């Protein structure tokens, strides 16, 4: 009979990049905690005890549970599976974690302040590109000049290689493109758009440091917690607030599901349908 670790390795081989790393992290921690050799010996209590032992955020625990469910679902679909059903019953759930998305959205004034407070030309363009394209940090680090194509109508189109091996094309506004061209100088087509001092592509951790320094320079109250991904959240929220069609925002961000994009329709704390209704009263007075 195939061992538990071999089953996990076979499942992990189906995944790549950050997804594989995340799945491997969860399964490694879980197997280390339960110390079980055969998958048939795993019981619901093992899962419950492990999750209870973690001093992690509720959202992280929910993610761990989802990964374990996916692993066991894979095993029972194998030919002659070592188990006939998952040790995690469908009714096994964790409390829904608090939705903190609204806490991770910058106001337009905060975005402007961070950009204005950044004096380094390259770093300022990093912030502008994060905000105006909604690009993920890993996608930004992977951008090469050969991925950018000038548009006849002004600006440019960039090919972004995103999650799950999916590619999308995003328009770069002309104002940003003019500045990016200045940054390029004599760089070759295979050079990274945002190079380090050695000419190599920047690491995601470097981008986050640029963002945190900008937040501190702009004297944001939550500067220590601001990350590069906040610009992606802010792009979605601000665009929808300005009336950009949700399908266009979805295409720009590369969301596979419209539901993912639509959640940004509900997170603006300074706007509500009540603003429209209250105008009836002011019109009568």
Asked if residue 97 belongs to a domain, the reply is no
Q: Can you give the C-alpha Rg of the chain in angstroms?
A: 23
Most confident of 44-48, 165-169, 218-222: 44-48
Helix (H) or strand (E) holding 66: helix 58-76
d(CA 52, CA 133): 40
- 112/253 same-domain check: yes
Map tokens 């320079």 to a residue: 217
- 155/193 same-domain check: yes
Per the structure, the count of domains in the chain is 2
pLDDT at 268: 59
pLDDT at 57: 81
- 109/180 same-domain check: yes
- 71/110 same-domain check: no
- 245/141 same-domain check: yes
Asked if residue 83 belongs to a domain, the reply is no
Token pair recorded at residue 11? 């499942």
Q: Which of 76, 110, 134 is the last residue of a domain?
A: 76
Residues 6+ apart with CB under 8 A from 69: 86, 88
Active-site residue among 15, 69, 104, 163?
163
pLDDT at 213 exceeding the cut of 80: yes
Catalytic (active site) residue 182 = no
Angle between helices 17-34 and 58-76 (to 10 degrees): 90
- 72/133 same-domain check: no
- 13/129 same-domain check: no
Count of other CB atoms within 10 angstroms of residue 264:
23
Catalytic (active site) residue 136 = yes
Token pair recorded at residue 129? 């590109």
pLDDT digits (tens, 9 = 90+) for 91-145: 898 876 655 556 678 988 999 999 999 999 999 999 999 999 999 999 999 999 9
- 138/255 same-domain check: yes
- Residue range(s) defining the domain that contains residue 239: 102-266
- 127/233 same-domain check: yes
Asked if residue 216 belongs to a domain, the reply is yes
pLDDT digits (tens, 9 = 90+) for 81-93: 999 999 999 889 8
Could you tell me where the DSSP H helices lie in 185-254? 204-217, 229-241, 246-253
Identify which of 18, 28, 127, 117 has the alpha carbon closest to the alpha carbon of residue 71.
28
Catalytic (active site) residue 232 = yes
Identify which of 36, 35, 51, 39 has the alpha carbon closest to the alpha carbon of residue 11.
39
Asked if residue 88 belongs to a domain, the reply is no
- 123/33 same-domain check: no
Catalytic (active site) residue 38 = no
Asked if residue 133 belongs to a domain, the reply is yes
Map tokens 């493109």 to a residue: 177
Q: Which of 76, 93, 113 is the last residue of a domain?
A: 76
- 147/198 same-domain check: yes
pLDDT at 274 exceeding the cut of 90: no
- 106/70 same-domain check: no
Count of other CB atoms within 10 angstroms of residue 18:
10
Asked if 138 and 18 touch (Cβ cutoff 8 Å), the reply is: yes
Give how far Cα 220 sits from Cα of 121, 199, 205, 237, 269, Å: 21, 31, 20, 19, 18
Q: Which of 76, 94, 121 is the last residue of a domain?
A: 76
Active-site residue among 46, 128, 136, 171?
136
- pTM of structure: 0.65
Active-site residue among 233, 235, 238, 255?
255
Phi-psi region of 254 (alpha: psi -120 to 50; beta: other; left: phi over 0): left
Active-site residue among 48, 213, 229, 263?
229
Active-site residue among 232, 233, 235, 238?
232
């Amino acid at each position: 009979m195939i061992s538990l670790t071999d089953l996990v390795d076979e499942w992990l081989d189906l995944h790549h990049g950050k997804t594989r790393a995340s799945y491997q992290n969860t399964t490694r921690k879980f197997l280390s905690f339960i110390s079980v050799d055969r998958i048939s010996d795993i019981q619901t209590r093992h899962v419950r005890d492990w999750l209870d032992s973690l001093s992690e955020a509720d959202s992280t625990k929910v993610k761990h549970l989802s990964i374990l469910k996916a692993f066991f679902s894979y095993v029972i679909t194998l030919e002659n599976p070592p188990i006939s059903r998952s040790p995690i019953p469908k009714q096994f759930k964790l409390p829904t974690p608090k939705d903190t998305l609204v806490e991770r959205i910058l106001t337009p004034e905060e975005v402007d302040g961070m950009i204005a407070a950044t004096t380094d030309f390259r770093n300022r363009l990093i912030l502008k590109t994060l905000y105006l394209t909604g690009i993920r940090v890993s996608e930004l680090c992977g951008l090469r000049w050969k991925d950018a194509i000038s548009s006849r109508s002004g600006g440019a189109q960039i090919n972004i290689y995103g999650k799950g091996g999916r590619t999308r094309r995003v328009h770069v506004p002309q104002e940003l493109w003019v500045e990016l061209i200045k940054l390029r100088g004599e760089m070759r087509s295979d050079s990274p758009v945002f190079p380090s001092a050695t000419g190599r592509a920047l690491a995601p951790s470097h981008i986050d440091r640029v963002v945190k320094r900008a937040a501190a320079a702009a004297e944001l109250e939550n500067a220590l917690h601001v990350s590069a991904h906040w610009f992606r959240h802010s792009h979605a929220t601000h665009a929808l607030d300005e009336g950009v069609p949700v399908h266009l925002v979805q295409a720009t961000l590369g969301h596979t599901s419209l539901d993912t994009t639509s959640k940004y329709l509900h997170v603006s704390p300074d706007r509500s349908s009540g603003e429209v209704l209250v105008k009836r009263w002011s019109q009568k007075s």
